Structure 1
Amino acid sequence: MSQTMYDPARVQSLGEEILDFRHKAVPAALQGLDISEFSGRGLGLNQLQTPLLTLDRDALDFNARLLAAWCEERGILLAPHGKTTMSPELWARQMDLGAWGITLANAAQLRVARHFGFTRLMLANSLTDPQAIRWAADQAADGSRIVSWVDSVDTVALLDRELTGHGTLDVIVERGGHGGRTGARTHQEALAIARAVHDSPQLRLVGVGGYEGALAHTADDAGLAAVRGYLADVVALHEALLAEGLYDADELIATAGGSAYFDDVVDVLGPVRTSGGDGAPHVDVVIRSGAYIVHDDGFYRGISPFSRQDPDGPQSFRSAMHGWVRVVSQPEPGLAILEGGKRDLPFDEGLPVPQVLSAGLGEEGVPLAGAEITAVNDQHAFLRFPEDLDIRPGQVIRLGLSHPCTALDKWTLIPVLDSTRDTSSPTVVGAVRTFF
């Protein structure tokens, strides 16, 4: 099925790109290779340079298969949020494992997906730019499906105006929550939006949804209660739209779920699933988890449904990303300055965590106990460490990172290693090209 959902030839053409100075992960000695040659040479980690972000092939594959199987067992559809990786190659892998489609956040990201032939897309946002509205409608008229969101009557009026002469668009009504991000804040507001969509000749109402992750940041009782209460509001809206006959299609979507609470989404929204028939619509529940395929050693390690109780368990997601940086200065006792900073490493959901110290990249290392990164500048990180540790300029530190969404966006090309779990000298087996 997935072979009709994207263009394999265009995805494979990524391997033809010539590497040069624009790809900061690639040493000067390897420039001039194309990505396929870079990936197929059997390069060792020690042939790369720092600072560096790498991905782990085995972890990526494990994570992708784990959630795909979990969704299949429950009859839930998955539309991974592609903005996490902005990698058509990884999107294609997710589609090959049965994903329903790819979720994206803005029109520029939609254009990337369409360039690589992805034909079923969800925009987890409202289209409000006139050019983007008309472009999306033209894409839909050309055979693609783009489902976007609306959260106000004003947005519906804007879409109506701009779509005149450009066909129709499928939309879902976004239910929000107090203190959250976008979305209608009350049930009555959401109903009014749905009625406006239903009355529009340019729009088709095909579902309801939203994003629960903006309402909580923890997996404690208070956080989970906020999430589940919000999801119950989404269900109530769906039931009200059915009762009032406001849907404009026979195949409907109820969608929520990032990478932190997708189990609660399935638990609360799951009962709205129906197979249709006898005049009733077919209703699918779609989760949009994005960070899961990369996972991390920080925020998602602590909050993911698969790792809250046992982050290192056999059925927990595995972090597929690591940072590698050298010590560039050791100016005073207990302080080392590292070469990677905000331009290279994520910091918004927790600072990088030093894991392993080695004499060189790809060499045997030792756990770096007692050390902590306390601050990051644009290009540097401050490592505080016990003074009895021997840390010197030129040594390499492997970092655990938090939040893949703000890690991958700093790299146009990311080397993929075979595995970092059981070897100190992994081999380059691929490269992920990103389009942020």
Structure 2
Amino acid sequence: MFDFDMLGLNKVLRNALKAGGFDKPTPIQNQAIPLALEGHDILGLAQTGTGKTLAFGLPLIAHLMEDETRPQTRTARALILAPTRELVNQIADSLRHFTMNTPIKIATVVGGQSINRQIGTLARGVDILVATPGRLIDLMDRRAVDLRQARHLVLDEADQMLDLGFIHALRKIAPALGTPRQTMLFSATMPKQMEELSRAYLTNPRRVQVSPPGKAADKITQSIRYMEKGEKPKVLREILSRDPEALTLVFARTKHGAEKLMKGLVDDGFNAASIHGNKSQGQRDRAINGFRDGKINILVATDVAARGIDIPGVAYVINYELPDTPDNYVHRIGRTARAGREGEAIAFCCAEEVDLLVQIEKLMKVEIPVASGTRPKAVKMEKPQRGGGRGRGPGQGQGQGKGSGKGPGKPAHGRPFADAKPQGRGPRRRRAA
């Protein structure tokens, strides 16, 4: 199929696609939309930036428009779950373009925002609810939302939800939805636990896959630069100075490291901001909006942004520190070369990160071209201290509660770092994902 007119979408959605400049479906849309319109459960495998949102969003809206049932108070007709606040907001913004001329209402619930305001929104009923699992559980516990009318469930970036410890939340949320229902699960990778999840929640799913897991977009030019750890600040500033107006996304491993790096860049005259789990929702939104509008041209981030930023104009992604999880490297560099554009991904690698680089190249089945330096002998990274509430998940510097330093990517109590509130020494706060 060569255009959206041939996918079976209704006239309202076809007109909205044309008005938005969407001429041809991407491969994942081409495969998934006809099957989803027929009512099949979908298991989709595709990297970020391949058009997954419309692959599940357009048929979902089409089904709701056909039904014409209006949501009752405190109910939702469809539920979309995503792992981070940024991704939730991105999905909702993308879908609102296609519901502007329809009665369909879209609402979001995420941590870091007023739960009372969200309760008020849900009290009126919504058609599509886009949520992070943690905050949705809070609202379910308060009986602020009833999911029994929901006949559509979408799990987006499901592998990241599992990485962040959301499996227990999914086991509580999914049975609360009505049946029969259509379930669509989209993931960039397919670990064993993902296969188990698909068997548990999908019925005779149709599998669609557009690129092998671990493969980067073709238009991304990758390079690796070997250096001593202490040389990284100088090399970063040299690269940023070569193209000072370009939108550049710089990834650090921890929240503390990202904030320190950003402040150092600002002190040196660079127009930079940061986004990580210790930032409030308002701060994160302002940073992303400023980056999207070009008011800020350097955004320093942890892996909280590895899948939650969809900005076509990002020219460079710099891995100032390599991620602890090789999959996250693919997601990070996928922030550039979006919407058919070209982009460049530059990775810094010191002796302590050589083992991480080996894992990344093994996953991608390629050897990243060397731009400078020589690969040093691998040196084991310093292990994070156990206990005391400070762990090192990928891109996240702090755990929650006592004894949360349990190694990469395993937040305490199943709590995702990417969606956690900053923790201080004050009274214990209610969980808000």
Give the TM-score normalised by structure 2. 0.34
From the CA coordinates, give the structure whose radius of gyration is larger: 1
Greater share of strand residues, 1 or 2? Answer: 1
Give the TM-score normalised by structure 1. 0.34
The structure with higher relative contact order (CA 8 Å, sep 6+) is: 1
